[in-house]
C-alpha cells in the first residue's frame, strides 16, 4: 500500500488530537496528550483498503480533514492523503518466491528500458506510471505498509518474513529503476502481532509478539 505526500514538518500529538476532537472527556486520551509531548504526526492517511462502493467518500473526507488542518494552522505541517491497495493495479499473475523476497539473481520482468528483479520495485513503478498518466508526476510515494506474515498462508514462515524485511531495509535505500538514486520512505507492517483479530493471516505480521519478544532478529541499520 502507498500514500502520496509533499515535504513538511510535524506538529505535536496534542495539537492533532485536539483538532480531531479526540480529547473530549476520555481520560485515556488526555493522558496520552500529556505524557507523550514528543510524539508527532507526519501523515494522515484517510481510508484503508476502501471497498469499491465506498471510494466515493474518500475525496470528501480528505477535503474535510484538510480544511480542518488549514483552519487550525496546520496545513503546512501534516500531509493528508489516502492509502492505495496495490490490488488496484489488477495484475494477479503467478509470482515466484525469489521475486517477492528480493532474492532473484537476475531480471525477472522486463518493462521497456526497465528491468525488475523484485516485485516491490515493479509495484512502486507501476504506481508512479499511473500518477504520471493522471498528471501527478511530481508526487512522491510513501510506502505506508509492507511486510511478510509468519503463518496462516502460502510461504508464510518466520524465515521468509526475516528475509523479506531484512532485504527490504537494504533495498529501499537506493530507489527503483524508474526513480533511482533516492531512498524510498517505507514503513514495515507491523510492529506487533495483532492477536486480538480473528485467527488468520492478519494476525501474523508483527515483528514482535504481544509479550514484546521479537519473532526474529532484525537490524534497521
**Predicted pLDDT of residue 85:** 75
Active site residue 145: yes
Contacts of residue 115, defined as CB under 8 A and 6 or more positions apart, other chains included, come to 107, 109, 177
Q: Which residue is it, cell 528475509?
A: 163
Q: Is the pLDDT of residue 87 over 80?
A: no
How confident is the prediction for the chain on average, in pLDDT? Answer: 82
**Predicted pLDDT of residue 37:** 65
Q: Which residue has the higher pLDDT, 49 or 69?
A: 69
State the average pLDDT over residues 201-216.
94
CATH tag, 88-221: 3.20.20.80
With bands split at pLDDT 50, 70 and 90, how would you rate the model's confidence at 125?
A: very high
Radius of gyration (Cα) for the chain, nearest Å?
19
Name the active-site residue from 94, 132, 145, 202.
Answer: 145
Among 28-32, 110-114, 120-124, 166-170, the least confident range: 28-32
State the average pLDDT over residues 51-79.
87
Grid cell at residue 61: 473526507
**Predicted pLDDT of residue 74:** 83
Candidates 84, 101, 219; CA nearest to 156 is 101
Active site residue 194: no
Residues of the chain with CATH 3.20.20.80: 88-221
**Residues 24, 25, 31: CA angle, nearest 5 degrees:** 90
Report pTM.
0.81
Amino acid at each position: 500500500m502507498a500514500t502520496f505526500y509533499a515535504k513538511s514538518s510535524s506538529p505535536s500529538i496534542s495539537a492533532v488530537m485536539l483538532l480531531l476532537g479526540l480529547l473530549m472527556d476520555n481520560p485515556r486520551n488526555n493522558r496520552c496528550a500529556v505524557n507523550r509531548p514528543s510524539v508527532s504526526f507526519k501523515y494522515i492517511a484517510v481510508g484503508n483498503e476502501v471497498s469499491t462502493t465506498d471510494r466515493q467518500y474518500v475525496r470528501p473526507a480528505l477535503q474535510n480533514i484538510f480544511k480542518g488542518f488549514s483552519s487550525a494552522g496546520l496545513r503546512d505541517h501534516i500531509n493528508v492523503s489516502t492509502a492505495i491497495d496495490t490490488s488496484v493495479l489488477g495484475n494477479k499473475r503467478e509470482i515466484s518466491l525469489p521475486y517477492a523476497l528480493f532474492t532473484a539473481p537476475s531480471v525477472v520482468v522486463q518493462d521497456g528500458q526497465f528491468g525488475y528483479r523484485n516485485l516491490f520495485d515493479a509495484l512502486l513503478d507501476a504506481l508512479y506510471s499511473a500518477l504520471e498518466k493522471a498528471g501527478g508526476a511530481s508526487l512522491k510515494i510513501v510506502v505506508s505498509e509492507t511486510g511478510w506474515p509468519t503463518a496462516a498462508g502460502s510461504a508464510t514462515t518466520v524465515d521468509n518474513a526475516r528475509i523479506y524485511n531484512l532485504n527490504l531495509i537494504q533495498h529501499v535505500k537506493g530507489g527503483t529503476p524508474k526513480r533511482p538514486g533516492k531512498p524510498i520512505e517505507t514503513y514495515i507492517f507491523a510492529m506487533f502481532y495483532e492477536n486480538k483479530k480473528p485467527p488468520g493471516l492478519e494476525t501474523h505480521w508483527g515483528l514482535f509478539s504481544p509479550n514484546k519478544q521479537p519473532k526474529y532478529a532484525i537490524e534497521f541499520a
